[in-house]
Structure 1
């Protein structure tokens, strides 16, 4: 093992060891809201805003919530370079599961967008945003799978990072929508723009990570694997 590779932060136990846990923390609020919705759909008390479409056709939302929580939590640790180096078999096995979960998240979101009636306070622009970002997540996962099948690890990590960033949009939207409502007041325009901002912020951060750190992480993994 080279000293240079060993000294790099690896995202799991060194200087960047907080990264997976911070990603998990980002989804605590939407995961809690999703859990309340699941409890409601299973006959529990109504604590969430009423949505007759979900009550009439609960399967898509159940699939979406369960898949999204598992994808967010399990996916966070796939970005640990130490985990990839020390447990490559588990990384690949978890990756296969995450592909299924991620596609379930994306396609269930698209199904609800296309077939559930629009909720009050949402408009055409939010409808377009949901179609675009849901399709983008599915496409990123498919491109990530295609890349690794061709042995292109850097491109694989890049596309999977983008897919994960889109999946975590709900976590960032808790903040963007809260700030937007506090500053501009609650309205259809504010809701739409702040939800869009959540996805846009996550994609911007993902692109920054891909361009600034992606190459060094790939080199570190390759050096350790070949030593």
Structure 2
């Protein structure tokens, strides 16, 4: 009588299978990142009626663009399972860049939400949503850092996933706003706040489900 070991996928196969995770996250980050590059180019051309709101706050907008872009790109690679397993040292060292970049991006976004002029299609509700989710992102990064310093990997992963979900909110908002604009028109006021808030909420719920499912599978 012979026994056959269960078939397992070789490492190369698993690597090929999970490449879609960072690719999807980078694609989602493409719209806000491209918008940030456009904003920098626009500001470099001088003050106009369209960019006056950002031109008056050059430091926060630049910190937000570069901090958030760095956070989104490095975060996508952090969430690539096979890459993280093959390069654990890279995971740790890039995290030392990712966390400050994310905190800088979150705080500068909150600063702009609180102190810049409210755009034509926004309202106070959307300003408070930006402050709320910005605080969740910054708190998630800080708590994730505290957890890993205690060697609490489970809590670290959950807080980092929550922070990254909020950071990816701009990409999801573009996906939500696109169909809304096509079907209804440009939203403003409370309808825009609802759509934007829904995008953040969906990201957080999805991130929570995915990270908990992944951790449960590893325990099994």
Question: Helix, strand or coil for the counterpart of 2:17?
Answer: coil
1:214/1:61 CA distance change after superposition, 3 Å: same
Matches within 5 A, 1:177-216: 177-188=177-188, 189-216=190-217
1:39/1:121 CA distance change after superposition, 3 Å: same
Checking the alignment, whether the CA contact within 8 Å between 2:18 and 2:82 is kept in structure 1 is no
Q: 2:41 aligns to what?
A: 39
Checking the alignment, whether the CA contact within 8 Å between 2:47 and 2:55 is kept in structure 1 is no
Q: 2:143 aligns to what?
A: 143
Q: 1:98 aligns to what?
A: 98
Question: Helix, strand or coil for the counterpart of 1:145?
Answer: helix
Question: How much has 1:170 moved relative to structure 2?
Answer: 0.5
Question: How much has 1:151 moved relative to structure 2?
Answer: 0.5
| Structure-2 separation of matches of 1:39 and 1:72 | 20
Which shows bigger deviation, 67-76 or 208-217? 208-217
Question: How much has 1:75 moved relative to structure 2?
Answer: 1.0
| Structure-1 separation of matches of 2:209 and 2:10 | 19
Checking the alignment, whether the CA contact within 8 Å between 1:20 and 1:76 is kept in structure 2 is yes
Q: 1:170 aligns to what?
A: 170
Q: 1:22 aligns to what?
A: 24
Q: 1:224 aligns to what?
A: none
1:173/1:58 CA distance change after superposition, 3 Å: same
Normalised by the size of structure 1, how large is the TM-score? 0.86
Larger radius of gyration: 2
Question: Helix, strand or coil for the counterpart of 1:65?
Answer: helix
Checking the alignment, whether the CA contact within 8 Å between 1:10 and 1:81 is kept in structure 2 is no
Q: 1:131 aligns to what?
A: 131
| Structure-2 separation of matches of 1:10 and 1:145 | 31
Normalised by the size of structure 2, how large is the TM-score? 0.88
Question: How much has 1:11 moved relative to structure 2?
Answer: 11
Question: How much has 1:182 moved relative to structure 2?
Answer: 2.8
C-alpha RMSD of matched pairs (Å): 2.5
| Structure-1 separation of matches of 2:185 and 2:17 | 40
Question: How much has 1:87 moved relative to structure 2?
Answer: 1.5
**Structure 2 unaligned runs (5+)?**
none
1:142/1:204 CA distance change after superposition, 3 Å: same
| Structure-2 separation of matches of 1:163 and 1:187 | 27
Q: Which has the higher contact order (CA 8 A, sep 6+)?
A: 1
1:90/1:128 CA distance change after superposition, 3 Å: same
